[in-house]
A and B are shown apart, each in its own frame.
Chain A
Amino acid sequence: MHNNTIAPRDAEWREQLRKAMTAKQRTAIPRVKMPELDPAYRITCNDEVNQGISAEQAVTEATRCLDCPDPQCVTGCPVGINIPGFVKNIQRGEPLTAAAVLKETSALPAVCGRVCPQEKQCESRCIYHKMGKEPVAIGYLERFAADFAAMAPENDWQSPAAVPVKAKIAVVGSGPAGLSFAGDMAKRGYAVTVYEALHEIGGVLKYGIPEFRLPNSIVDKEIDSLRRLGVEFVNDIVIGKTLTYDQLVAAGFKGVFVASGAGLPRFMGIPGENLIGVMSSNEYLTRVNLMGAGRPGWDTPVKKGHRVAVVGGGNTAMDSVRTALRMGADEAYIIYRRSEAEMPARVEEVHHAKQEGVKFMCLYNPVEYKGDEKGCVTTAVLERMELGEPDASGRRSPVPTGEYVELPVDEVIVSVGVSPNPLIPNSLSGEGLNVSRKGTIEVGDNMESSIPMLFAGGDIVRGGATVILAMGDGRKAAQAMAEKLEV
């Protein structure tokens, strides 16, 4: 593992660090606490909730890492970051080198340090769990190193702009999968052009994840560093519409990576779902995050609900309900059909939402919305649920009880998942692209589709996953495509 890293485990400085302190001394150090904005203040603005740890805290936290001979944290990372390599660089006071180690495998460390579910990935494999202690705060350290580097003059740690010397490669979509793929291909010397349908680059990182969890300025810095690697970005182009796949091939692109995301929001198909004030989380978050709705001087409107119900238990539901509070809601509810234990959202997001005053109505499921004479939603009719046997997802299933309650609401945000965006699959259906029944593009182990040299990854393949899994796909596809091009 990590043969080509700038921070190998057998480096002399790492050996010295390992010898400098005993495991007992290291494990006696308590895990760092992330400084957070006060809940009462933060719901009045869009400022980032997690403030980031200080340099001193980072060094102390990095000291906790035992620098294991067979580090399991790395196996929990979808992009295989050299975790001890960057952590130990922080400990020895080299945060810029730590950032460079991160950049070896991740195009977006400042993003991942914020939105990755580390507790389910790298940190879940940390040796500290075996001692009954809290794991090393790998996510906080990743964010620290990436943010530190972003503040430094770029030439101190970034490689200079690359001159592409290899074939032209096109990327469809500028979300996490596309950006990760683009970065890896650019580093290999390919001339990468990323096409984005929206007017902003960044995909779900811009339109989906709110400012208070992932500031746009952080995303823009990551994109700028890809530009320096030679990646070209073109917005307002819908591949399959503005330009077809055939036109890309005719223009000399030797490979195409489709990362067009999970476009289509799912609705539940219950009565009243098309009333005014009922909308998808995609619509709500896009209006607020991408279109600036609710901020002075921006043209796009958004309904500011006083009593807002968000349906769903994922991260997007938490983002929506916390956004609703910041937009001035008096009461904001999470309506979730299972219990809190089954919620797919990150524990941190649930915790933050509760701190901010979100009310959780678990084991309730909407069955109907009622409206007034103007068609505006006024009431959500909820059915009480019970937990039954585990279902296909392995979680205990929600079972209807036949008991109903009515919740007065003036805004409902439906956050029950998304389906793959049909634009690309539709435009290639005549070309022999294999698409699943769910509408996802079918790919082999190397992320290549049924059309040779057309690769795909992220939610258009997975149907709805996380930023880091999408990035892992991009990384895998880049490696496989490069191997095919270089034979």
Chain B
Amino acid sequence: MNKIVEKEHFSENVVKLVVEAPLIAASRRPGHFVIVRCGEHGERIPLTIADSDTARGTITLVIQAIGDSTRKICALEAGDFLTDVVGPLGKATDIQKFGTVVCCGGGVGVAPLLPIIKAMKQAGNRVVSVLAARTADLIILEPQVREHSDEVIIMTDDGSAGTKGLVTNGVESVINREKVDMVVTIGPAIMMKFVSLLTKKYEVPTVASLNTIMVDGTGMCGACRVTVGGKTKFVCVDGPEFDAHEVDFDEMIMRLRAYN
């Protein structure tokens, strides 16, 4: 049982929870995820860790209510408990000095992107962050991203904040004006697919953090399998981050609909 110590609504359907999990807070690195269960009959849901506070012994999770289980989690209040939080799982992000790194996130993908932005900046990279959403209200964590980025580009579908356009337009504008050494992308699968197609064209190495369906999250079930470079990989133990140019996004998008 893990106590929720803080809750914040980023938007109607997007919630930030700060959760007591001292062992995970101490051992997690950027890129890691946890499996969360809400209720004794609850589903096991993978959520990438957005932040941690070792002094308080907490981790931060950002959840979008898209199904029954995520709605249940989003309905919890400070003082309530998550039934299970286990992790940190997956491989941590490969953080090193690449030069200029573009970190692009869509929707709630910005939350797990934040620790990577921080770590990339700390490693001495020039970090350009591109945040994208349908509309201004859905842009999350902008101040925190600004704090750790050299530059922030906001893209919205309707132009209600930043520049009107897609995340790919923002990334392309950076690639066109300066040398980019690495792109990190986290967001909806369809977004990552198009970021990957774009950066492949420009031959910029790109890492995508995949958010597949999982059950145990420890390599046991294989529900999360994806094809990377023609080989089947398990997102939970081989990922969640992969060379985006090698990922079969169409297959991944198809598999995400397994229970729709």
Q: Is the CB of A283 within 8 A of B44?
A: no
| Inter-chain contact A197/B41, CB cutoff 8 Å | no
Report A-chain residues with C-beta under 8 Å of the C-beta of B226.
Answer: 274
- State whether A421 touches B219 (Cβ < 8 A): yes
The stretch of B95-103, B104-112, B130-138, B251-259 in contact with A is: B251-259
Name the one of B215, B219, B255, B257 contacting A264, with C-beta atoms under 8 angstroms: B219
Q: Contact: B220 with A236, CB < 8 Å?
A: no
Q: How many A-B residue pairs have CB under 8 A?
A: 116
Q: For residue B50, which residues in chain A have a CB less than 8 angstroms away from its CB?
A: none
On whether the beta carbons of A242 and B69 are closer than 8 Å, the reply is no
Distance in angstroms between the alpha carbons of A275 and B163 in the assembled complex? 39
Q: Taking the nearest CB of chain A, how far is it from the CB of B9, in angstroms?
A: 23
Does A299 lie within 8 Å of B69, measured CB to CB? yes
Q: Which residues in B have their C-beta under 8 angstroms from that of A423?
A: 218-219, 237
Central interface residue in A198, A261, A267, A269, by most chain B CB within 10 Å: A198
Closest chain A residue, CB of each to CB of B69: A299
Minimum Cβ distance to chain A for residue B3 (Å):
14
Closest residue to B223 on the A side, CB-wise? A283
Q: How large is the interface on A (under 10, 10 to 19, 20 to 34, 35 or more residues)?
A: 35 or more
Q: Are B43 and A283 in contact (CB under 8 A)?
A: no
Residues 1-32 of chain B, each 1 if its beta carbon lies under 8 Å from chain A, else 0: 00000000000000000000001100100000
- Would you call B220 and A199 a contact (CB within 8 A)? no
Name the A residues within 8 Å of B87 (CB-CB). 238, 241-242
Give per-residue flags for A249-268: 1 if the beta carbon is below 8 A from chain B beta carbons, else 0.
00000000000010111010
- Complex CA–CA separation, A362 to B215 (angstroms): 31
Closest residue of chain A to B23 (Cβ to Cβ) is A242
With A237-B86, A241-B89 in contact, is A422–B219 under 8 Å at CB?
Answer: yes
User: In the complex, which residues 197-240 of chain B have their Cβ closer than 8 Å to any Cβ of chain A?
Assistant: 215-216, 218-223, 225-227, 232, 234, 237
A-side binding surface: helix, strand, loop or mixed? loop
> Does B46 reach chain A (CB closer than 8 Å)?
no
Bound together, the chains give a CA A134 to CA B32 distance in angstroms of: 56
Asked if B68 is at the interface of the complex by the 8 Å CB criterion, the answer is yes
| B90: min CB distance to chain A, Å | 9
> Given A274-B232, A291-B44, A299-B41, do A242 and B24 touch, yes or no (CB 8 Å)?
yes
Report how far A423 CA is from B90 CA in the complex, Å.
9
Q: Check A198 against B27 for contact (C-beta < 8 Å).
A: no
Does the CB pair A286–B251 fall under 8 Å? no
Nearest CB in chain B to that of A235: its residue: B84
- For A301, list chain B residues within 8 Å (CB): 43, 259
Using Cβ atoms and an 8 Å threshold, which residues of chain B touch A17?
Answer: none
10 cross-chain CB contacts under 8 A? A199-B83, A199-B84, A207-B216, A241-B27, A241-B89, A242-B87, A267-B225, A267-B232, A283-B222, A375-B255
Residues of A within 8 A of B (CB): 197-199, 207, 235-238, 241-244, 261, 263-265, 267, 269, 273-274, 276-277, 279-280, 282-283, 286-287, 291-292, 297-301, 303, 374-375, 421-423
Given contacts A207-B220, A242-B86, A303-B258, 12 further A-B contacts (CB under 8 A): A198-B86, A198-B216, A198-B218, A199-B84, A261-B220, A263-B220, A264-B237, A274-B225, A274-B251, A280-B222, A286-B215, A299-B41
